[in-house]
Homo-oligomer: A and B are copies of this chain.
Amino acid sequence: MKGLKLASLDEKGRSQVKVGPVTFGEGFIIIAGPCSVESKEQMMETARSVKAAGADMLRGGAFKPRSSPYEFQGLGLDGLKILRHASNETGLPIVTEVVDPRDVIMVCEHADMLQIGTRNMNNFALLKEVGKTDKPVLLKRGMYATIEEWLNSAEYVLNEGSPGVVLCERGIKTHETYTRNTLDLSAVPAVRELSRLPIITDPSHGTGRASLIEPMCLASVASGADGIIVEVHAHPEDALSDRDQAIDPKQFSEIVGKVRSLREFMGKGSMKR
């Protein structure tokens, strides 16, 4: 694919990306947590419950890119500290979004993995900056990006010496309105035939509807994804953002069970690719 060097699939084989005890590209990685860090209590409660349910890693937003300057923009540094605390207590590494190149160093001090959100996939200044750090990067697909543009954005990060990039299909904008975005699961096998990078999916943003998350998690496993990232909120009805797509710890726990079971089945006998 045009422009790809470091992200392309070649004789070096598939890339593995390590984040503390977690290795993307090896098993099936489940990341969970709230959309935004809202308070220490909310984050800790959710962190404990997703850990209990079997999550491998925590997520949570401290910096939230919002369409209007008058909407909640996240807790910032306070949010990062809460995330660090949640990680330390649960032992799960954390991934969190960074939106400004000037914040990268600060975020690195608290996070284990840096997330580039969908609105920043083409923010090349930011891509270069996260690529210079020793933290691996979770690169969400731009909601209007082609797979080619997305892989080229990964190339920007890798070209700066980054220890690794994990791609995240999070849904693209289409004419459909019933779902918030359209989760493009064909991107999973497409990326796997074009690139050496691990790829996970985000059924929460990809559908925007709690009721569709479980089937899309299972379909992600069947499509060959290396993991999922799911929005879980201890009390979805109270969430400050993305309320319609948040599931509670009990629903999450059921999904984890089915996902692990399906993944095991997919790796056995004649199902193995």
Does A36 lie at the interface of the complex (its beta carbon under 8 Å from any beta carbon of B)?
Answer: no
> Shortest CB–CB separation between residue A79 and chain B, in angstroms?
16
Query: Which single residue of chain B is at the shortest CB-CB distance from A98?
Result: B125
- Which chain A residues in 192-220 approach chain B with CB under 8 Å? 193-194, 206-207, 209, 211-212, 215-216, 218-220
19 of the cross-chain contacts (CB-CB < 8 Å) are: A2-B68, A3-B71, A5-B70, A68-B152, A69-B128, A99-B125, A123-B123, A144-B173, A147-B176, A174-B184, A188-B215, A189-B216, A193-B211, A215-B224, A216-B223, A218-B223, A218-B266, A261-B270, A265-B265
* Copies of this polypeptide in the complex: 4
Q: Which residues of B contact A100 (CB under 8 A)?
A: 101, 125
A101 CA to B98 CA in the complex, in Å? Answer: 14
- Tell me the minimal C-beta distance from A52 to chain B in angstroms: 18
Cα separation A71 to B153 with both chains bound (whole Å): 12
CA–CA, A102 and B123, complex, Å: 13
Q: How far is it, in angstroms, between the C-alpha of A211 and the C-alpha of B188 when the chains are bound?
A: 12
A212 CB contacts on chain B under 8 angstroms: 186, 189-190
The CA-CA distance from A266 to B258 in the complex, in Å, is: 10
